[in-house]
């Protein structure tokens, strides 16, 4: 079987986004994975934890970043509500957010969950297809595309009782990016500090090879096959038609097999101005990451053609560090800079308002609650 017959393209590999101008090679990298990309979390984050402790001693608070976004629960470190964050948006920002609705299982007066979902959808003018996601989660856990009542009912049955979730319009634009934004209190203008272009893994059928064989034939996908194949299950044995594109995961997360590329070359004055305008229309938002879907690189550079699907606070990362071509010194320098900024912003807000950061025990309990919920969420796409 020829290499050409087993060509594997990532989601943006052969479309109108023109990523070859950026040297992205269709989402591929000169390296399949960085040598630290799949280290155990406690190993990679150990230097970050040491840095955090040093900052805590310097600023006399280990949880000071919980003040970085005062109107968000814990500043967005953990346990925050995705819906409550988006609800903070003013009219300018709302125009850029993909329409959404929040709801709870076992809703008002014990109404059936599907009836509650229908009411929430109607109130926001939502129709299928939708993205269903937990209101409290991270790393794409529990996120699933639902295309009809049957799929939504299945999702709701699997969801923990008396818990909040969010239904959001499915944005079909193929481009996906994470845009990190920082503004210090008192500053009239913020700045973009990181852009990550995300490439969920896709295989293209040749009419003869199974999805498993197509994965095995690509160096990057083979390297993350332990993440992809268990999720695919029996689907891995299917033989796609020639030219058929099969997206292997929906969630654009590197720990679920997506490729992340450093997109800081996308930062233009127009994009800076647009993101700053959007962020300043969210009261007391200073530090975090906009996750967006976009129609083209050219439009994104101009600060146009994108939809915000999520906004993350003080617990978010500048995810370009997971580009396979990023070396570990750059990764740690980036982490230290951003977490240092979170402490500095928290310190400025503490001095301004005289408020207290979340207690360490309370924050720990909230994180444990979130972890417990995440273990009970439905499987993600």
The domain limits of the chain are 4-30+201-248, 31-98+173-200+249-381, 99-170
How many whole angstroms from its chain centre is CA 104?
Answer: 22
For 288, the enclosing helix (H) or strand (E) is strand 287-294
Which residues fall within 8 angstroms of residue 161, CB to CB, at 6 or more apart? 105, 106
Which residues fall within 8 angstroms of residue 284, CB to CB, at 6 or more apart? 69, 70, 71
What's residue 7's pLDDT? 31
pLDDT, block means (10 residues), the chain with 381 residues: 33 39 46 84 96 98 97 96 98 98 76 89 97 93 94 94 95 95 97 95 92 90 85 90 89 75 96 98 98 96 98 96 94 98 98 92 95 92 73
User: Exposed, middle or buried by CB within 10 Å (0-12, 13-18, 19+), for 15?
Assistant: middle
What's residue 268's pLDDT? 98
Q: What is the dihedral of CA 68, 69, 73, 78, to 10 degrees?
A: -50
Domain 99-170 in CATH 3.40.50.150:
no
How many whole angstroms from its chain centre is CA 259?
Answer: 13
Using N-to-C axis directions, what is the helix angle for 113-124 and 149-158, rounded to 10°? Answer: 120
What's residue 108's pLDDT? 52
What's residue 110's pLDDT? 54
CA-to-CA separations, 315 to 41, 80, 255, 339, 342, in angstroms, rounded: 15, 10, 17, 9, 9
Query: In DSSP terms, which residues pair with 132 in a beta bridge?
Result: 144, 167
CA angle at 53 for the pair 47 and 57, rounded to the nearest 5°: 145
What's residue 225's pLDDT? 87
């Amino acid at each position: 079987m020829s290499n050409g017959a087993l060509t594997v393209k990532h989601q943006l590999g052969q479309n109108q986004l023109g990523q070859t101008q950026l040297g992205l090679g269709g989402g591929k990298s000169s390296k399949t994975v960085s040598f630290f990309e799949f280290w155990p979390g406690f190993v990679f984050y150990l230097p970050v934890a040491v840095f955090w402790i040093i900052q805590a001693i310097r600023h006399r608070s280990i949880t000071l970043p919980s003040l970085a976004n005062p109107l968000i629960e814990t500043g967005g470190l953990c346990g925050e509500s995705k819906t409550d964050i988006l609800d903070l948006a003013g009219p300018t920002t709302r125009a850029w957010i993909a329409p959404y609705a929040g709801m709870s299982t076992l809703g008002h007066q014990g109404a059936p969950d599907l009836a509650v979902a229908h009411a929430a959808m109607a109130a926001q003018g939502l129709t299928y297809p939708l993205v269903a996601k937990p209101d409290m989660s991270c790393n794409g856990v529990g996120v699933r595309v639902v295309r009809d009542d049957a799929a939504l009912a299945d999702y709701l049955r699997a969801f923990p009782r008396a818990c909040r979730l969010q239904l959001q319009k499915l944005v079909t634009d193929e481009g996906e990016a994470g845009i990190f934004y920082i503004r210090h209190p008192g500053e009239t203008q913020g700045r973009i500090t990181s852009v990550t272009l995300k490439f969920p893994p896709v295989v293209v059928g040749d009419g003869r090879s199974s999805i498993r064989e197509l994965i095995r034939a690509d160096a990057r996908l083979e390297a993350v096959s332990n993440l992809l194949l268990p999720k695919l299950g029996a689907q891995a044995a299917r033989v796609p038609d020639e030219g058929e594109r099969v997206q292997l995961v929906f969630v654009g997360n590197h720990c679920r097999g997506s490729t992340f590329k450093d997109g800081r070359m996308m930062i233009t004055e127009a994009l800076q101005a647009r993101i700053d305008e959007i962020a300043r229309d969210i009261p007391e938002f200073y530090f975090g990451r906009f996750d967006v879907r976009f129609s083209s690189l050219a439009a994104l550079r101009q600060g146009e053609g994108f939809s915000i699907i999520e906004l993350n606070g003080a617990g978010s990362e500048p995810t370009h560090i997971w580009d396979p071509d990023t070396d570990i010194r750059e990764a740690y320098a980036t982490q230290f800079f951003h977490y240092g900024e979170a402490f500095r912003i928290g310190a400025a807000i503490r001095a301004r308002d005289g408020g207290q950061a979340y207690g360490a025990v309370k924050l720990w309990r909230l994180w444990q609650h979130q972890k417990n919920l995440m273990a009970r969420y439905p499987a993600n796409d």
